[in-house]
């Protein structure tokens, strides 16, 4: 059962909240499938799918090396990765990379989002991929390769002939071949950005056209019907088992379910040292503690709390609850019920792929610092009765009032050329200060440019904080300094304390401040 918070909460947000209230906008780049963030002759959704394949295609199942590990970042100059698609995909996902999101997990998400946006099936998404720090071996099949070579490549990746056929057909239902990168395939007559012969007549629809056109021997796929037989690799691949698999794939439902299976298998091909999470499940009731801070005189906690209810047909609260109440437990054992209101901006709803809808409730309140804030439960009243959610049986959703982000945190741009310094403050509950094992800390995620790659690397630095003289009743203040290249100033940090009994209390994934010191 889901217990809040998890390190993948942010990922689940990116996966599902594409429009409406509190949208994350990751899907915008591939919506609609035919355009997205396209430029002439380029289809972003197709590029994202191709990038996932090329990154994964170097896997060797005998050594467990390679696979979806973002090593493509360092391999874009190699011949088997012709075209600008890879760097363009990596630039697209750049701003979403964080200490909680590896580039390789983002590539997997990119595939899932593209397939969804183009009308394809839901591909389950597991997380936990770890990024390579250098180029891996080569190994992406190329159009001029013989069937034996291509089969040997897929065999090395741990995929059967049937899976090979399906994966190529599922991939090549989108996009086409760029004349600028493959003039030998498209012909020398018109080599231009806009000349991109497509794999089928519906290149922006995730459908069986690529299969149908192949089977009827009447189509436009440049890797099937190309004048140059040498580069007709799709023709060789599709016919590898005497068209048995292609005939199966001609059925729309089979095509859809098979593509979901082989895509899932493809994005889960990871180095043997990586353990992936369970597939991300959409959470039915999810809280967001957006603000939890001390007011100016330190007597109150200022709280802004959202609750997101899934309202997707058949999967959530289809008719709006009559009330959503937050039941707050203070440190003295007292409970207070506070009513959350349906959010009003953009109708208080957000939307995702596969007709997902969510309804948002908001509570803005102040709580007494003297009483403390332990945890909260969520009460939801519907026509069927009242439901009390206690965070998957844990007794409540924690406020974690042991460590609070200091609002004094600020950005100092006057430092060394090209760098910025942050003064980061935390408030630590006074009764915990005597139990500290070492100083309170900041875990700061630097976004460091990396040589040979367009995507930065996340380097996490643990910084000790020192006590400052200011304090309020119940809390002591600490300060730490982090310096980072100004190009990567917008990042995240965690605050934490380690107690003598080994327990850690943290407040995580805080945005760096933009106000100047
Ligand atoms: C034998 C294996 C394969 C070969 C030889 C091959 C070859 C190619 C070539 C030459 C292109 C044109 C690239 C460009 O001009 O930008 C292409 C595009 C593409 N490939 Fe493959 N491919 C193979 C397998 C796959 C697989 C397994 C997938 C996905 C699962 C895939 C997905 C795509 C997509 C989506 C495009 C369109 C890209 C765009 O329009 O920008 N390919 N492929």
Q: Which atom of ligand 1 approaches the CA of 46 most closely?
A: 35
Verify that 181 and 239 share a domain, yes or no.
yes
Domain at 197, CATH number: 1.10.520.10
Q: Are residues 392 and 443 in the same domain?
A: no
Q: Are residues 139 and 238 in the same domain?
A: yes
- pLDDT band at residue 234, thresholds of 50, 70 and 90? very high
CA distance 179 to 189: 9
Domain's final residue, options 365, 398, 431: 398
**For ligand 1, what atom is nearest to the CA of residue 49?**
35
Q: Residue 54, SS3?
A: helix
Residues 303 and 254 in one domain: no
Q: How far is CA 195 from the centre of its chain?
A: 32
What distances in angstroms separate CA 455 from CA 8, 70, 325, one per listed residue?
Answer: 21, 10, 43
What are the beta bridge partners of residue 459? 446
In total, how many domains does the chain have?
A: 3
Give the tens place of pLDDT for each residue, 248-273. Answer: 999 999 999 999 999 999 999 999 99
Would you say residue 447 lies in a domain? yes
The reply to whether 258 falls in a domain is yes
Give the residues surrounding ligand 1 with Cβ less than 6 Å away. 43, 46-47, 49-50, 53, 83, 85, 141-143, 150, 167-168, 170-172, 174-178, 181-182, 233, 237
Q: Is 119 exposed, middle or buried (0-12, 13-18, 19+ CB in 10 A)?
A: middle
Return the residue whose CA atom lies nearest to atom 11 of ligand 1: 177
Instruction: Give domain status of residue 64, yes or no.
Output: yes
Q: Are 478 and 390 in a shared domain?
A: no
89 alpha carbon – ligand 1 mean position (Å):
14
Supply the pLDDT for residue 36.
61
* Domain limits for position 298: 285-398
One domain, residues 408 and 393: no
Distance CA 111, CA 308 (A): 26
114 Cα–ligand 1 center, Å = 14
State the CATH number of the domain containing residue 291. 2.60.40
Task: Name the more confident of 41 and 478.
Answer: 478
> Is residue 176 pLDDT above 90, yes or no?
yes
State both tokens at 295: 């007011």
Q: How far apart are CA 259 and CA 49, in angstroms?
A: 12
Q: Look at residues 139, 137, 89 and name the one whose alpha carbon lies nearest to residue 114.
A: 89
Calculate what percentage of the chain has a pLDDT beyond 70: 99
Of 267, 296, 327, the last residue of a domain is 267
Reported residue count of the chain is 517
Ligand 1, from 53, 184, 267: best to mutate by most atoms within 8 Å of Cβ?
53
Q: CA 161, CA 144: separation in Å to the nearest integer?
A: 18
Q: Are residues 318 and 375 in the same domain?
A: yes
Q: Tell me whether residue 207 is in a domain.
A: yes
Check residue 174 and give its pLDDT.
98
End position of a domain, from candidates 367, 398, 429:
398
- The pLDDT value recorded for residue 513 is 92
Q: Is residue 10 part of a domain?
A: no
In tens, the pLDDT along 384-401 reads 899 999 999 999 999 999
| Cα torsion angle, 82, 88, 91, 97, sign | negative
Mean pLDDT computed over every residue of the chain: 94
- On the question of pLDDT at 94 being above 90, the answer is no
Q: Examine the domain organization and report whether 199 and 215 are in the same domain.
A: yes
Instruction: Pick the more confident residue, 375 or 517.
Output: 375
Please give the Cα distance from 144 to 232 (Å, whole number).
7
pLDDT score for 43: 93
- Structure confidence by residue, pLDDT tens digits, 32-45: 998 765 688 899 99
**Measured between alpha carbons, how far is 188 from 264 in angstroms, rounded to an integer?**
37
Q: If you average pLDDT over residues 444-467, what whole number do you get? A: 91
Q: Which two tokens stand for residue 167?
A: 């994966």
Q: 298 and 191 in one domain?
A: no
In a domain, 276, yes or no: no
- Atom 19, ligand 1: which residue's CA is nearest? 50
Task: List pLDDT tens digits, range 122-140.
Answer: 999 999 999 999 999 999 9
| Amino acid 445: pLDDT | 94
Q: Are 56 and 267 in contact (CB under 8 A)?
A: yes
174 contacts 206 by C-beta, under 8 angstroms: yes
Q: Is residue 277 part of a domain?
A: no
Using the predicted structure, report yes or no on whether residue 169 has a pLDDT greater than 90. Answer: yes
Q: What is the pLDDT of residue 98?
A: 87
In 3D space, the residue among 362, 357, 507, 314 whose CA is nearest the CA of residue 428 turns out to be 507
Nearest CA to ligand 1 atom 27: 168
pLDDT digits (tens, 9 = 90+) for 316-342: 998 889 999 999 999 999 999 999 999
Q: Which residues contact 471 (CB under 8 A, 6 or more apart)?
A: 430, 477
Q: Are 472 and 425 members of one domain?
A: yes
């Amino acid at each position: 059962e889901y217990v809040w918070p998890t390190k993948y909460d942010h990922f689940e947000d990116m996966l599902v909240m594409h429009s409406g209230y509190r949208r994350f906008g990751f899907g915008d780049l591939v919506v609609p499938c035919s355009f997205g963030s396209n430029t002439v002759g380029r289809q972003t959704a197709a590029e994202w799918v191709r990038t996932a394949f090329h990154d994964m295609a170097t896997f060797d199942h005998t050594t467990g090396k390679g696979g979806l590990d973002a090593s493509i970042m360092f391999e874009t100059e190699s011949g088997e990765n012709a075209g600008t698609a890879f760097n363009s995909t990596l630039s697209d996902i750049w701003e979403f990379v964080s200490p909680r999101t590896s580039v390789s997990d983002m590539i997997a998400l990119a595939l899932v989002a593209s397939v969804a946006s183009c009308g394809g099936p839901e591909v389950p998404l597991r997380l936990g991929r770890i990024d390579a720090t250098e180029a891996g071996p080569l190994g992406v099949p190329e159009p001029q390769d013989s069937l034996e070579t291509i089969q040997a490549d897929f065999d090395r990746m741990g995929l059967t002939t049937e899976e090979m056929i399906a994966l190529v057909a599922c991939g090549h239902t989108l996009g086409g071949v760029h004349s600028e990168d493959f003039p030998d395939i498209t012909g020398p007559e018109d080599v231009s950005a806009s000349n991109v012969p497509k794999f089928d007549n519906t290149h922006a629809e995730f459908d069986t056209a690529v299969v149908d056109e192949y089977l009827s021997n009447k189509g436009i796929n440049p890797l099937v019907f190309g004048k140059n037989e040498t580069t007709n690799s799709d023709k060789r691949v599709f016919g590898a088992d005497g068209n048995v698999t292609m005939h199966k794939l001609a059925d729309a439902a089979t095509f859809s379910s098979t593509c979901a299976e082989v895509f899932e298998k493809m994005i889960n091909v990871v180095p043997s040292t990586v353990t992936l999470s369970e597939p991300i499940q959409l959470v039915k009731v999810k809280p967001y503690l957006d603000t939890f801070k001390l007011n100016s005189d330190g007597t109150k906690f200022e709280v802004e709390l959202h609750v997101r209810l899934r309202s997707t047909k058949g999967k959530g609260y289809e008719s709006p609850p009559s009330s959503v109440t937050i039941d707050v437990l203070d440190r003295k054992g007292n409970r207070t019920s506070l009513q959350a209101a349906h959010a009003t901006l953009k109708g208080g709803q957000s939307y995702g792929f596969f007709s997902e809808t969510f309804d948002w409730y908001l509570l803005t309140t102040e709580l007494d610092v003297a009483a403390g804030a332990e945890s909260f439960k969520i009460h939801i009243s519907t026509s069927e009765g009242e439901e009390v959610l206690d965070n998957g049986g844990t007794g409540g959703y924690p406020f974690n009032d042991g460590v609070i982000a200091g609002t004094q945190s600020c950005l100092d741009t006057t430092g060394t050329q090209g760098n910025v310094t942050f003064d980061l403050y935390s408030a630590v509950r006074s009764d915990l200060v005597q139990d500290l094992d070492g100083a309170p800390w900041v875990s700061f995620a630097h976004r460091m440019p990396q040589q040979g790659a367009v995507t930065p690397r996340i380097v996490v630095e643990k910084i000790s904080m020192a006590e400052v003289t200011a304090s309020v009743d119940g809390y002591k203040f600490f300060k730490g300094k982090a310096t980072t290249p100004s190009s990567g100033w917008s990042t995240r940090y965690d605050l934490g304390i380690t107690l003598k009994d080994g327990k850690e209390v943290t407040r995580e994934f805080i945005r760096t401040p933009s106000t100047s010191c």
